[in-house]
Structure 1
Amino acid sequence: MGSVVDSETGTPLPFANIIIEGTTIGAATDMNGEYFILNVTPGKYTLRAQMMGYEAQIIEGVIVSVNRTSNIDVKLRETVLEGEEVVVVANKLSIKKDQTSSVKNVSSEQIEMLPVEDLDQVIAMQAGVVDGHFRGGRLTEVSYLVDGMQVNEAFGGTDKTVSIEKEAAQDLEVITGTFNAEYGRAMSGIVNVVTKDGGNQYKASFSSHVSNFYTANSDVFIGLSNTEFARNQDYKLQLEGPVIPDLITFFTNFRYQKSLGHINGIRRFNVDDYSNATDANKFGVNTPWDFDFNGQTYYSEHTGDGEYVPINTNLDYSGMGKLTFNISTDLKASVMGTLNYSETPNSGHVYKYKPDGRATFHNDSKMGMFQLNHFLSNSAFHDLKLSYVDNHQYSWLYEDPFDPRYVHAGYGGGMGGFSTGGQDRGHSERKLIDLNAKYDLVWQVNTSHAIKTGFLYTHHTVENLPILTQNALRGTPLAQLNWYNENTGKVEFYPYQTELYPDDAIEMDRYKKQPFEFSAYIQDKMEFDEMVINLGLRYDYFNPNTTYPSQRRNPANQLLFYQLDENDNIMYDDNGNPILDSERMSSYPKAPAQFQLSPRFGLSYTLGSAAVLHFSYGHFFQMPPLYTLYSNYRNLIPTGDFQTVQGNPLIKAEKTVSYEMGIWQELLPNMGLELSVYYKDIYDLLSAVVYTTYNQIKYGLYSNKDYGNAKGFEMKFDYLMGPFSLYANYTLQYTRGNADDPTTTYSRLGQSLDPVPYLVPLNWDQRHTANISLGYNQEDFGVTLTGYLNSGRPYTFTPVSISPLAKQTLYPNNSERPTTYTIDLSGHYDFDIGDVGKLRFYLSVYNLLDRKNELSVNSTTGRAYTAIVYPVDFATFISNYNDIYDSIQNPYMYSAPREIKIGIGLVL
């Protein structure tokens, strides 16, 4: 929106035409010379302003971002010659007049130049973001959207089901401050990815990338070879163009990645090797696997080939296809489908010498989305969006639990601090299907008021499908019967007879639940000469659609209680049946639905011509992850204390009350500085409280008892001039609470430790965070340098000489890990191939300086590769292949070493 005036007199020019070149979209100014153009897809555009008797003006490089107003004011000069025109370039840093909170919009051009592999890394570079935590919130407090539709993994709550590749993103919106009423189901932040549409010209690109790790720290990262150029592989394909010109276009994007990772193991042991470090000379015969240690004879088979084996591998592939239908100037529709699949084997330092037999975690997600956009008039339009999201997660070594390749569980032993045989025998599976319907209506009442209203309905279907196995011979002498076979030279077991756990076993937490939720909102964006006000109200409704036990001291009626008369005798009904004591027995009523109202307010005030002050306030509610409602849904209590945490359908929504104030100043043309301060209280945080049954068994129940708060200061600096760009931000943050995660207090009670009586730093309370990106990018050449500096995050320091009594007052996160920093470099160079296209060469270097950043530390020393070892540890350590320090020196505690990635691509 904006105005058109006479350049000499400043007189408003009515009926001037503003047209977005290359489209059929435009507007005419009103009697006050003002205009607005609604419903423009994010991207970079060229505007043409024209009026009879005036020179036409071409404004190039106009940036349109999602949920933002781009103000373009035009001054036309009178002329007597028709056809004259003036070309100007829009300020790359438009005045942020309508920004009432902290929002960062990253365009596709900016994303392309950053040394990042995916959009998650772009998000991590924003001020206020620490390893997925937005301004001090837990990981579950962020809402991830694709084209405005939520794609959060609702069961666990910490991830998203759909990932869009960076090449397919037209605009990335990251909101770390308060947000408008249209956004909900989040307390800390919003991430919205706007996908690209196909164009009217055929375009294609393909690229192939390989990478390897080159490090001087070979003592930590063993087995890496400088000649293994393709240790990691990455292939990308993108196609777009018209199906029917001007009517139907398509856009497709595919990516395949296979990574062998930077950590290797050594195959000393195979899965059917047996070791015994507890029963000296168990077999009573001399074998080739016997070894003497501290005067005792022990047994350890090691039939591995001694080869290096990658153990933090990963396989990913993704696909996206989108059809866009430009039905008329007033009606547009699109259909999109996405696929994300990944395989990640179990990984950890314990597998260093036995890298085989690990289960693989599979994550398979599919999404289908339909969008319909319709102009009701020049001042109003509405959107209808429907989506289907199917997420299937499963983990196993072999899909069939009776697969004959499983070895006897007795081989699963350890020695020297590492696994020496056996396999992962667990089977877990979970399915989540979300059906979503979203409707939005936008009405630009006039140049001062824009009303937006809408609703969202979501129906979840979640299935938890664990498979647990056991030996049918358990409890008999045959279960662990083994012997040394002199013919094979190995230990053999009496055959393992696999059977499934019965469906009524306490451990078999199998269920299917179908909760649903509904949201509605209304907001008014009031834009005046010097002030913009965002005022909104949101309604959220959630129905768990299940039952709950009325008596938590006897939730599954495993204990029977009867009514007694005055002589303590059991009472009977007329049919001779004993009468149950209803006060001590559970009934199972329907869990009630709940709702919340969330007011939102934001204000920005223009100071002069190049500064904007903003303030915002809001209430934000979010239901906890679905597992906290349905875990152990049959409410069975084991026979021991602190062995289970039950789901609670009565759990309430968590609540955040947030405040923010900031100022943005244009220092020079194309140079801006933004300062913000914020504070938020987080109430009714998810926790686990302890209940005691009538037979004195203690167990956990998810509830709303935790509290936290966060406060901080942010500074953001942007500079764009020609080919040069500089983006920098700094965050000072304090995050406090009584627990890092929902089960912290419950676990402390289980260890006979007192609850934390005051607020402590949370695990992600990173005091200082700084990011900087410096780029130089021409049409055929570009280079970008990015740096990250993070002060150490908290950990719990445990002194060596601490007594059991002193441990009671040793509270979590009482010390800090070392500071980390990383520098990444990326560049590309293009060669023209005549009129066909371009050949592009890529180079990226991650961790350019090969820093050994300590991400985790030992609790007794505060460092990654050092620990205090007690005499008793030496006395009990038994091994014939390593020393006690081997298990302490864990490469997973460090960030990845230097990685050099090269690629070649064809752009047509």
Structure 2
Amino acid sequence: MNFTDRYRRTLWQPTALALALSMGLSGVAMAQSNASGVIFGNAGDAAGATIHVENVNTGQSRDITVDNAGRYRATSLPVGTYTVTLKREGQVIGSRDNVQVRVGSGTDVSFDSSASEAGAKTLGGVTVVGSALPAIDVSSVDSRTTLTAEQLQKLPLARDVTAAALLAPGTVAGDARYGNVASFGGASASENQYYINGYAVTNALTGIGFTSLPYDAIDQQQIYTGGYGAEYGRSTGGVINVVTKRGDNNWKGGVGLHVIPSSLRATPKNIRRTDGQLFQDRSENTSSATQYTGYLSGPVIKDKLFVYAAGDFTRTTGNNISSILAPQFTTEVSKAKKWLAKVDWNITDNHIVEFTGLSDQTRTDRTVYEYSYANEARGNLIGGDKLENAASLAGSAPGGDVYIGKYTGYITDNLTVNALYGTSNSDHKRTLAYAGSPNCPWITDSRTKITSPIIGCGLVNGTVLGPGAKDKTHGWRFDVEYQLGSHDLRAGLDNQTLESSAGNQYEGGYRWRYQNVRNVSGRPDIFPDVPPGTPYFVEQRIFITGASVKVEQEAQFIEDHWQINDRWMGYLGLRNEQFKNINGAGDVYVKQRHQLAPRLGATWDVFGDSSFKVYANAGRYHLAIPSNVAIRGASASLYSSQYFTYNGVGPNGEPLNLVPAGSKIYLNGEDGTDLNPKTVAAQGIKAYYQDEYILGFDKALNSDWSFGAKATMRKLKSSIDDFCDSRPFEKYAARNNIDITNASIPGCYLFNPGVPNTFMVDVDGQGTLVPFKLTMEDFTTPAGVKFPPLKRKYYSMELYLEHHFDERWFARLDYTFSRSYGNSEGQLKSDIGQLDPSVTQDWDAPEIMQYANGPLPNDRTHQLKAYGFFQVNKEWLVGANVAIASGRPKNCIGFDPVDAIQYGASYFECNNQPAPRGSRGRLPWTLKLDLNAQYRPLWAGPGQNLAFSATVFNLFNSQKTTSQVDGGEDPANDYQRPLSFQTPRYLQLGVSYDFSM
């Protein structure tokens, strides 16, 4: 059969199926776990008949009895292709071929009510091609985008999980300073959960990022953007759920090569200050990458035991010229090794065991040289280092080894059991390879209008990873599903423990920052001890943190998918979360129990044929305090500052002839001593949680087209951050006649912002704890500045139009109008790129929160996404991916005229005037067009196993600013300096060969 004939045949097949389904009734379905799917349907008056479900690739099969209402369902099916057969007394009276099961989804395979009669033989002959079953999943109340391996290979996407996630409506790229991560529905980038084959692989320390896997090993990737059921928790952003490929009854393999040459990369824009002064020369900041891939899969025992193994090995080389503040020329060679192995054992058709092992390891070798901006030339060698699983020297990164075991038991037609256990381990290392002086301090020259900045001798001039950094997790899940009449009941346990040993310190032990002596209008000189006429001063900061900490997370959930009648399904779920945070001394400093999260939803199959669905849901979602909080906020740490005048600069950039210009200050009270765990956080602190409401519809126009709309409202109801202000305690003590002369008050407390909090205070420094029940009036400053109520709201309207793949072409168009606004981004503060989830600068004192209400950093009011591919002929395929978005809000963050808390340029104020959040307009709109082409030559053989591909990213080489310096007065000439641009145009070339044995 030629390509055209096959294409024409598909046009009538889905139509025939749709006609058949319109005579049937929809049934209830539910994804039994986050790594499997469901086949469900109605067999008309064939009560007592048998539904035979068989995986065409592995031979696994199940027999389900049709109930008295004519319904059936087969749960916890591994994703893949199935044949569904209706039998009565051994006789086949109807069948469906090529039924696609998708992760977390229900696939409706219903039979005509006359299927029990001999006349149904014609219907039984209908063949479903690909996934042409009903486009509308009437069994789900959530919001998700599911991408198959076929789509991932045919769309022009970077070969990583985040690139695919950004196709989903309501997702935006997180701040570039957080790496390659996404923000979902206005939430900060640390509020997501990532799963591989049912096990959470989210960064154990900060929640930013995840352990990855070989790209070609992805079978399906599911992106939940809201409305997910009670089985999911620990997320107020989104969920990315990856199911890997597995072996089947055919031995096959493949190899591939993907190259990104630096010669075909566009030159990145230089960074300039608004006055035109060059800040960073990026003309040589380019890289090249070569990736080798391979896989092998097949049966060890046919129909019983299967293996699948895949690997990615990527070598990336690049250069980087740093800014004029610390000019250095760095060369990097990075080697990333990812592998995955999966074993599936069908002990019997009713008992299945799976084992997955995967590894994600990256090693980077760096060499650092001096660089002269005046001569535009590289200078002498400074040194070098080696990084392992460390994305930057600012802290640890995801990666490591993960092992997962899972059991699925189909005990009876109505009872299914799932059990899962997993572990992960990741070491993060930095080793000095060679250096002239390994103890060089971090030098920053922030003086304005200077032509020769002071340059240090450090390798990176920054905060470096402390020794012994590592993360490890272990967790287990157990759930049971039972169908009782029209109720599909499910209950389960979900526990995970996260452990991290982490810490940071300044390279060389301390940091020098050279600054201008200046007066700020409306207040005295900020450094009154500096002699008159002194133009500059220097600040010394010492910063050392490090501890081994733990977070224990437990949850129980129960849910019911209730088929109320033939067209209405109700969903009721309840999740109960418990969180326990443990500091470096092994003490519990926060314990939260009975965090109840109800989930409610309903779907209406309007016409009863799965062609038009109206759905609604409401739910509450909790998030634990991340591990990193205990590193600094609940364990011993040292953070000090002292100012000096100086006369001369040494060869390593250090100041000479120092004269103190003030005493040493311990910032936030971090003086290196252990903290009393009972005084770290507010008593009875509420968990971080969010409420969400969704109303939407999906409508099939015909067998090829569908469209829909969805309205979403999210409201952050409770947050956890730290505040670092002693004045409320002083006010409370004065009002209640409590002597706190010798009190031991931590520099910062964890609390629930915007509401009254109770703290335990060591009033005599000897461990005598007294509760301080601080009201909102206590939090009010002497000048009358109050803490505002917590606010983070997100609302959106999403519209989509989709053409389903018909073996010729696939396309989807999404438009999202959204607003994300309030006075808190959440766990992060993208305004300044702060990397301390839940202990940001926000809420440190009431003054910081003045004028903080407005559009938040992840707000993109308008987004248009379009993507798809077209099979031109047997040999050629082309694809496109377009993303258009309005810009990020701009701020002006500067000095407060009083600066009672001495935070410097940290307020939403500029030039002694209020500068409310987002009041400085928007960054420019961004446009990104990616195109790809694939060529599978016929001369390579009947299977067309040889493929050549080319993908161009950012075809028009648009390099709009995506983030900027919001600090408007420190120093003033840095205000609105770009921090990041769109990635310049680059080309990826690939070749792959698949073979069967």
The yes-or-no answer on 1:526 pairing with 2:632 is no
| Contact kept? 1:3, 1:33, Cα under 8 Å | no
The aligned length equals 773
Q: Could you tell me how far apart the structure 2 residues matched to 1:808 and 1:358 are?
A: 46
> Which residue is equivalent to 1:38?
75
Give the C-alpha shift of residue 467 in structure 1: 6.7
Unaligned 5+ residue runs, structure 1? Answer: 276-303, 475-504, 550-587, 862-866, 874-886
**Counterpart pick for 1:406 among 433, 437, 445:** 437
| Contact kept? 1:21, 1:47, Cα under 8 Å | no
**Counterpart pick for 1:332 among 352, 368, 376:** 352
TM-score using structure 2 length: 0.69
Unaligned 5+ residue runs, structure 2? Answer: 1-16, 26-42, 174-181, 271-280, 390-398, 446-450, 513-540, 641-663, 727-739, 754-789, 830-838, 898-904
> Which residue is equivalent to 2:807?
722
Give the C-alpha shift of residue 663 in structure 1: 1.1
Give the AA of the match of 1:326: N
**Counterpart pick for 1:107 among 129, 143, 148:** 148
Give the C-alpha shift of residue 896 in structure 1: 1.9
Query: C-alpha root-mean-square deviation of aligned residues, in Å?
Result: 4.4
**Residues 638-677 of structure 1: pairs in structure 2 closer than 5 A:** 640=665, 642-643=667-668, 648=680, 652-677=686-711
Alignment CA distance shift 1:708-1:103 (3 Å): same
| Contact kept? 1:268, 1:354, Cα under 8 Å | no
Give the AA of the match of 1:237: G
Give secondary structure in 2 for the equivalent of 1:121: helix
The yes-or-no answer on 1:679 pairing with 2:721 is no
Rg larger for: 1
The yes-or-no answer on 1:97 pairing with 2:135 is no
**Residues 67-82 of structure 1: pairs in structure 2 closer than 5 A:** 67-75=104-112, 76=115, 79=118
Q: Could you tell me how far apart the structure 1 residues matched to 2:561 and 2:415 are?
A: 14
Give secondary structure in 2 for the equivalent of 1:87: coil
> Which residue is equivalent to 1:183?
232
Give the C-alpha shift of residue 258 in structure 1: 2.3
| Contact kept? 2:334, 2:363, Cα under 8 Å | yes
The yes-or-no answer on 1:618 pairing with 2:619 is yes
Q: Could you tell me how far apart the structure 1 residues matched to 2:507 and 2:971 are?
A: 38
Give secondary structure in 1 for the equivalent of 2:78: coil
Give the AA of the match of 2:347: I
**Residues 243-282 of structure 1: pairs in structure 2 closer than 5 A:** 243-260=300-317, 264-265=320-321
| Contact kept? 1:732, 1:769, Cα under 8 Å | yes
Q: Could you tell me how far apart the structure 2 residues matched to 1:514 and 1:258 are?
A: 34
Give the C-alpha shift of residue 266 in structure 1: 9.3
Alignment CA distance shift 1:860-1:387 (3 Å): closer
Give the C-alpha shift of residue 700 in structure 1: 2.8
Q: Could you tell me how far apart the structure 2 residues matched to 1:835 and 1:369 are?
A: 38
Give the AA of the match of 2:553: E
Give secondary structure in 2 for the equivalent of 1:38: strand
Give the C-alpha shift of residue 455 in structure 1: 0.2
Alignment CA distance shift 1:548-1:199 (3 Å): closer
| Contact kept? 1:654, 1:684, Cα under 8 Å | yes
**Counterpart pick for 2:959 among 844, 847, 852:** 852
The yes-or-no answer on 1:367 pairing with 2:402 is yes
Q: Residue by residue, what CA displacement relative to the aligned partner does 1:415-467 show, whole Å, maximum 9, x if unpaired? A: 75685744237442422211111101111223x22111110222333222557
Alignment CA distance shift 1:109-1:58 (3 Å): farther
> Which residue is equivalent to 1:831?
937
> Which residue is equivalent to 2:125?
86
Q: Could you tell me how far apart the structure 1 residues matched to 2:187 and 2:542 are?
A: 34
Alignment CA distance shift 1:121-1:8 (3 Å): closer
Q: Could you tell me how far apart the structure 1 residues matched to 2:135 and 2:23 are?
A: 20
Give the AA of the match of 1:128: G
**Residues 731-880 of structure 1: pairs in structure 2 closer than 5 A:** 731-740=816-825, 747=841, 754-757=848-851, 759-777=853-871, 780-797=875-892, 806-807=911-912, 809-814=914-919, 815-831=921-937, 833-834=940-941, 838-857=945-964, 859=966
Give secondary structure in 1 for the equivalent of 2:914: coil
| Contact kept? 1:316, 1:342, Cα under 8 Å | yes
Range moving further from structure 2, 713-722 or 539-548: 539-548
> Which residue is equivalent to 2:644?
none
| Contact kept? 2:965, 2:979, Cα under 8 Å | no
| Contact kept? 1:715, 1:731, Cα under 8 Å | yes
Q: Could you tell me how far apart the structure 2 residues matched to 1:381 and 1:734 are?
A: 42
Give the C-alpha shift of residue 903 in structure 1: 1.4
Give the C-alpha shift of residue 589 in structure 1: 8.6
**Counterpart pick for 2:160 among 115, 118, 121:** 118
Alignment CA distance shift 1:350-1:896 (3 Å): farther
Q: Could you tell me how far apart the structure 2 residues matched to 1:53 and 1:698 are?
A: 75
Q: Sequence identity of aligned pairs in percent?
A: 17
Alignment CA distance shift 1:105-1:407 (3 Å): closer
**Counterpart pick for 2:296 among 221, 225, 239:** 239
> Which residue is equivalent to 1:12?
45
Give the C-alpha shift of residue 711 in structure 1: 1.0
Q: Residue by residue, what CA displacement relative to the aligned partner does 1:677-720 show, whole Å, maximum 9, x if unpaired? A: 11121022232212339589993333321431111111122211
> Which residue is equivalent to 2:552?
516
Give the C-alpha shift of residue 143 in structure 1: 1.4
Q: Could you tell me how far apart the structure 1 residues matched to 2:606 and 2:702 are?
A: 15
Give secondary structure in 1 for the equivalent of 2:630: helix
Give the C-alpha shift of residue 627 in structure 1: 1.6
Give secondary structure in 2 for the equivalent of 1:769: strand
| Contact kept? 1:412, 1:423, Cα under 8 Å | no
Give the C-alpha shift of residue 748 in structure 1: 7.3
Alignment CA distance shift 1:657-1:313 (3 Å): farther
> Which residue is equivalent to 2:254?
205
Give the C-alpha shift of residue 788 in structure 1: 0.5
| Contact kept? 2:954, 2:986, Cα under 8 Å | yes
| Contact kept? 1:708, 1:759, Cα under 8 Å | no
Q: Residue by residue, what CA displacement relative to the aligned partner does 1:620-660 show, whole Å, maximum 9, x if unpaired? A: 11112112234251377855264567894555420101111
TM-score using structure 1 length: 0.76
Alignment CA distance shift 1:441-1:470 (3 Å): same
Give the AA of the match of 2:622: F
> Which residue is equivalent to 1:130?
172
**Counterpart pick for 2:792 among 689, 708, 730:** 708
Give the C-alpha shift of residue 49 in structure 1: 3.9
Give the AA of the match of 1:729: D
Give the C-alpha shift of residue 545 in structure 1: 4.0
| Contact kept? 1:547, 1:589, Cα under 8 Å | no
Q: Could you tell me how far apart the structure 2 residues matched to 1:892 and 1:757 are?
A: 24
| Contact kept? 2:224, 2:240, Cα under 8 Å | yes
Alignment CA distance shift 1:469-1:140 (3 Å): closer
| Contact kept? 2:618, 2:693, Cα under 8 Å | yes
Give the C-alpha shift of residue 827 in structure 1: 2.3
Give the C-alpha shift of residue 594 in structure 1: 3.0
| Contact kept? 1:8, 1:77, Cα under 8 Å | no
Range moving further from structure 2, 343-352 or 429-438: 343-352
Q: Could you tell me how far apart the structure 2 residues matched to 1:268 and 1:468 are?
A: 20
Give the AA of the match of 2:197: D
> Which residue is equivalent to 1:47?
84
